[in-house]
């Protein structure tokens, strides 16, 4: 059911159909230069959805979360997990985007303040560490080679393998390992479905 008549468009040329019915079944009406009338107006009427499919590159990135990186054309998916390695929230970005801008939003979606926040070098940032400290947690994020060393206990950082194992379980779903959905919302739904099944496992 379609609500509102403004979204409905006529099919083809209504005048031509009526004229052909009046002229009889055996005749064929032709336009100028001998070109059949049906060939003059090719294609369906343009609906409102065509304008939504366009937009700027930033709008497409937000809608589809697809971009080209060194690994090819794809999506960057980030996850925040609990201490047992179960997914709590996801965030998507185009393949060429950096994951650090997604980290504060994921951190805010934790149900409670953790004791430690463990991340790889991609999340190394003084501003993000200060945000973790401000939440009441302690960061365990190693520094890059061009940064000054900060405390990152190995016995805490080793727990990052829980996230790696989480992605291994999620990628057992073919639709997670190979994205088939066009929009970011659809792919995010697949990730949430796979994470829900992972939560239900004993």
* pTM exceeds 0.85, yes or no: no
- Do 194 and 201 form a contact (C-beta atoms < 8 A)? no
| Model pLDDT, residue 58 | 72
Segment 81-100 shows an average pLDDT of: 92
- Mean pLDDT, the chain, rounded, equals 79
Considering only CA atoms, which of 73, 80, 78 is closest in space to residue 95? 73
Structurally, at CATH architecture level, domain 57-200 sits in 2-Layer Sandwich (3.30)
Which spans in 112-177 are helix H?
A: 126-135, 154-157, 161-170, 174-177
- Do 44 and 12 form a contact (C-beta atoms < 8 A)? no
- Do 177 and 162 form a contact (C-beta atoms < 8 A)? no
CA 157 to each of CA 8, 116, 139: distance values in angstroms, whole numbers, following the listed order? 58, 9, 9
Strand order in the sheet with 72-81: 67-69, 72-81, 87-94
User: Strands, DSSP E only, in the chain?
Assistant: 67-69, 72-81, 87-94, 116-118, 138-140
Per-residue model confidence as pLDDT tens digits over 105-121: 999 999 999 999 999 99
Domain ranges of the chain: 57-200
| Model pLDDT, residue 50 | 44
Per-residue pLDDT band at 5 (split at 50, 70, 90): very low
């Amino acid at each position: 059911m379609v609500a509102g008549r403004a979204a409905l468009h006529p099919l083809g040329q209504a005048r031509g159909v009526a004229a052909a019915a009046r002229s009889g079944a055996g005749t064929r009406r032709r336009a100028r230069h001998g070109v059949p009338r049906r060939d003059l107006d090719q294609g369906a009427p343009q609906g409102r959805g065509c304008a939504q499919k366009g937009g700027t590159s930033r709008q497409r990135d937000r809608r589809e979360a697809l971009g080209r990186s060194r690994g090819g054309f794809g999506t960057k998916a980030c996850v925040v997990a609990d201490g047992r390695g179960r997914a709590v929230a996801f965030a998507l970005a185009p393949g060429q985007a950096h994951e650090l801008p997604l980290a504060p939003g994921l951190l805010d979606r934790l149900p409670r303040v953790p004791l430690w926040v463990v991340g790889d070098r991609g999340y190394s940032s003084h501003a993000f560490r200060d945000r973790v400290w401000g939440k009441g947690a302690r960061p365990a994020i190693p520094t890059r080679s061009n940064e000054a060393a900060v405390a990152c206990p190995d016995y805490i950082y080793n727990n990052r393998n829980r996230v790696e194992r989480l992605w291994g379980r999620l990628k057992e779903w073919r639709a997670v390992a190979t994205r088939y959905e066009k929009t970011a919302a659809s792919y995010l739904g697949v990730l949430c479905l796979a994470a829900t099944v992972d939560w239900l496992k004993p």
